[in-house]
């Protein structure tokens, strides 16, 4: 039986009153997905579970990806029982890494000064957005003795070094690594999105395994359902036949070369590839599709979050790609939405990564090891020719989501973690 709400969890728990500060540069009404959306959902759910809990969110007046609609963000407001305090700080999602670090540091210090002007909190929850966010929590812990939980979404400088955007032996990288180790090992608990990330944090930074908790991201099984493939999204975009969809950020750690290579090999198999999203590589991707004359590839703009159910339902297969250098440094959150849609996954991710492990555990997709476009094309063709196999994988995907990867499960783990940390003080 699917559980889409907090009723059962609420009735089984009583929570002590506590005051929690949540630090995140981007938050509601930012609906760009990822960290802003996840933290907003989590904080609202926790508040819904216990109206007595006090949650103050310290964020900025910036939106990560403005929608083009003018939105005036108030310096303070109460939203769904959460008190949101917004700081006027420079926006950190700029191309220059140095500017990102500096503007993130400005937000971190402004957040610290704001918290110091308030009565002490019982607990601080921070996330790696911006990367210097942990500095505020660490200093607050030093000054006020308040423990903090460090939620790791994207790990820097590791990602920048892994992708070659920062030299590992540079002064900036070495200094940031020393700070990161201090912040991580001083946290009361560190939350990793996957087991591969947990192992990296332990191996690279010496964080003891008993202080790391793995809490997966989630999807809403009510908002994303197992729906008919023949829907409005297919009709609006004239999609027919067997459709393979990649949706998400067009980033440097997505292997579009492999995806387009597979598409070329399948151009006579009545298989369409639809790439949906935005990001730094969009122009490059569109140019490559045109240059290669890939008639079976469509590049479409990012869709509103409200349309995600139809987009995922329109797929016969959904794709996930993660550069092998990113092992342990991040977990693609799109996995959970795909699982909710009841579609099989074809992944191109490092062996041992959280995505690869879940696919193997739940038998809900296949992972292509390496950059082999032929192997990818072969697996897609196999699933097209064996609809019963694809259907079983899709059913397994939905079952895994409901059993393991809902907001209900994540909230329960966070509440257990909060009480665990507070019991230490």
The helix (H) or strand (E) run that includes residue 265 is helix 256-265
| Residue 187: per-residue pLDDT | 98
Q: Would the pLDDT of 89 be above 80? A: yes
| Residue 12: per-residue pLDDT | 42
7: confidence class by pLDDT, cuts 50, 70, 90: very low
The pLDDT tens digits of the residues spanning 137-193 come to 999 999 999 999 999 998 989 998 998 888 999 998 899 999 999 999 999 999 999
| Residue 66: per-residue pLDDT | 61
Assigned domain for 246 exists: yes
Q: Would the pLDDT of 54 be above 70? A: yes
Assigned domain for 412 exists: yes
Give the lowest-confidence range in 4-13, 44-53, 100-109. Answer: 4-13
User: Structure tokens of 308?
Assistant: 């995600």
| Residues 295 and 400 placed together within one structural domain of the fold | yes
| Residue 305: per-residue pLDDT | 84
Percent of the chain past pLDDT 90, that is, above it, reads 78
Which region, left, alpha or beta, applies to residue 334 given φ > 0 means left and ψ of -120 to 50 means alpha? alpha
- Buried b or exposed e, range 371-382, using 16+ CB within 10 angstroms: eebebbbebbbe
| Residues 41 and 117 placed together within one structural domain of the fold | yes
Q: Would the pLDDT of 420 be above 90? A: yes
| Bridge partner residues of 139 (DSSP) | none
| Residues 213 and 286 placed together within one structural domain of the fold | no
| Residues 162 and 236 placed together within one structural domain of the fold | no
Q: Would the pLDDT of 408 be above 70? A: yes
* The length of the chain, given as a count of residues: 425
Give the list of residues 6+ apart from residue 166 with CB closer than 8 angstroms, or none.
Answer: 97, 157, 160, 172, 173
Q: What is the dihedral of CA 106, 112, 118, 120, to 10 degrees?
A: 170
> How far is C-alpha 367 from the geometric centre of its chain's CA atoms?
19
Q: Would the pLDDT of 31 be above 90? A: no
Mean pLDDT of 274-285: 93
| Residues 410 and 400 placed together within one structural domain of the fold | no
Assigned domain for 358 exists: yes
CA distance 283 to 96: 19
| Residues 344 and 414 placed together within one structural domain of the fold | no
CA distance 239 to 236: 8
| Residues 398 and 411 placed together within one structural domain of the fold | no
Helix (H, G, I), strand (E, B) or coil at 37: helix
Got the DSSP string for 170-229?
SHHHHHHHHHHHHHHHHSSEEEESSHHHHHHHHHHH---GGGEEE------TTTS----S
The helix (H) or strand (E) run that includes residue 348 is strand 345-348
Assigned domain for 223 exists: no
Q: Would the pLDDT of 77 be above 50? A: yes
Mean pLDDT of 68-97: 82
Assigned domain for 29 exists: yes
| Residue 329: per-residue pLDDT | 95
CA distance 61 to 91: 9
Q: Would the pLDDT of 4 be above 70? A: no
| Residue 237: per-residue pLDDT | 94
Q: Would the pLDDT of 51 be above 90? A: no
| Residues 272 and 190 placed together within one structural domain of the fold | no
Q: Would the pLDDT of 14 be above 70? A: no
| Residues 162 and 262 placed together within one structural domain of the fold | no
Mean residue pLDDT across the chain: 91
User: Structure tokens of 367?
Assistant: 């992972």
CA distance 268 to 265: 8
Place of tokens 């993130």: 104
Q: 57 and 84 in contact (C-beta within 8 Å)?
A: yes
Assigned domain for 156 exists: yes
- Phi and psi at 191, nearest 5°, equal -105, 125
| Residue 216: per-residue pLDDT | 97
Assigned domain for 176 exists: yes
Which residue range forms the structural domain that includes residue 276? 232-404
| Residues 257 and 307 placed together within one structural domain of the fold | yes
| Residues 399 and 414 placed together within one structural domain of the fold | no
Q: Would the pLDDT of 113 be above 60? A: yes
| Residue 32: per-residue pLDDT | 72
The pLDDT tens digits of the residues spanning 304-335 come to 888 999 999 999 999 999 999 999 999 999 99
Assigned domain for 253 exists: yes
| Residues 282 and 376 placed together within one structural domain of the fold | yes
CA angle, residues 73, 79, 80, in degrees to nearest 5? 160
13: confidence class by pLDDT, cuts 50, 70, 90: very low
The pLDDT tens digits of the residues spanning 180-214 come to 999 999 999 999 999 999 999 999 999 999 999 99
For position 305, which CATH number holds? 3.40.50.2000
Mean pLDDT of 248-274: 94
Number of domains in the chain: 2
User: Structure tokens of 376?
Assistant: 């990818």
């Amino acid at each position: 039986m699917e559980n889409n709400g907090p009723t059962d969890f609420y009735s089984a728990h009583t929570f002590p009153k506590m005051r929690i500060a949540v630090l995140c540069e981007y938050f509601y009404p930012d609906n760009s997905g990822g960290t802003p959306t996840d933290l907003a959902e989590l904080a609202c759910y926790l508040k819904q579970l216990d109206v007595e809990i006090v949650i103050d969110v310290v964020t900025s007046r910036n939106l990560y990806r403005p929608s083009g609609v003018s939105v005036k963000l108030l310096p303070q407001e109460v939203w769904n029982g959460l008190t949101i305090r917004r700081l006027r700080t420079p926006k950190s999602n700029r191309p220059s890494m140095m500017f990102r670090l500096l503007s993130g540091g400005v937000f971190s210090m402004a957040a610290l000064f704001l918290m110091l002007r308030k009565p002490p909190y019982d607990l601080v929850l921070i996330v790696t957005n911006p990367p210097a966010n942990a500095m505020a929590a660490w200093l607050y812990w030093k000054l006020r003795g308040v423990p903090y939980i460090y939620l790791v979404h994207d790990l820097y400088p590791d990602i920048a070094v892994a992708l070659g955007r920062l030299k590992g032996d540079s002064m900036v990288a070495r200094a940031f690594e020393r700070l990161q180790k201090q912040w991580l090992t001083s946290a009361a608990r560190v939350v990793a999105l996957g087991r591969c990330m947990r192992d990296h944090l332990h191996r690279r930074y010496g964080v003891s395994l008993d202080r790391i908790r793995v809490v997966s991201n989630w999807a809403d099984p009510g908002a994303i359902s197992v729906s008919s493939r023949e829907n409005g999204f297919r009709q609006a975009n004239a999609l027919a036949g067997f459709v393979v969809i990649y949706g998400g950020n067009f980033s440097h750690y997505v292997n579009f070369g492999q995806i387009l290579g597979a598409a070329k090999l399948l151009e006579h198999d009545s298989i369409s590839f639809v790439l949906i999203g935005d990001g730094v590589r969009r122009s490059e991707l569109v140019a490559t599709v045109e240059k290669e004359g890939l008639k079976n590839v469509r590049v479409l703009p990012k869709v509103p979050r409200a349309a995600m159910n139809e987009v995922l339902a329109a797929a016969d297969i959904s794709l996930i790609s993660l550069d092998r250098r990113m092992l342990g440094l991040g977990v693609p959150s799109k996995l959970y939405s795909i699982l909710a849609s009841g579609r099989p996954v074809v992944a191109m991710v490092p062996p041992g990564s959280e995505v690869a492990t879940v696919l193997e555990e739940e038998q809900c997709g296949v992972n292509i090891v390496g950059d082999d476009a032929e192997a990818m094309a072969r697996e897609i063709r196999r699933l097209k020719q064996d609809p019963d196999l694809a259907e079983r994988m899709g059913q397994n995907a939905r079952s895994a989501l409901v059993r393991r990867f809902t907001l209900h499960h994540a909230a329960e783990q966070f509440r257990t973690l909060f009480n665990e940390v507070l019991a230490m003080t």
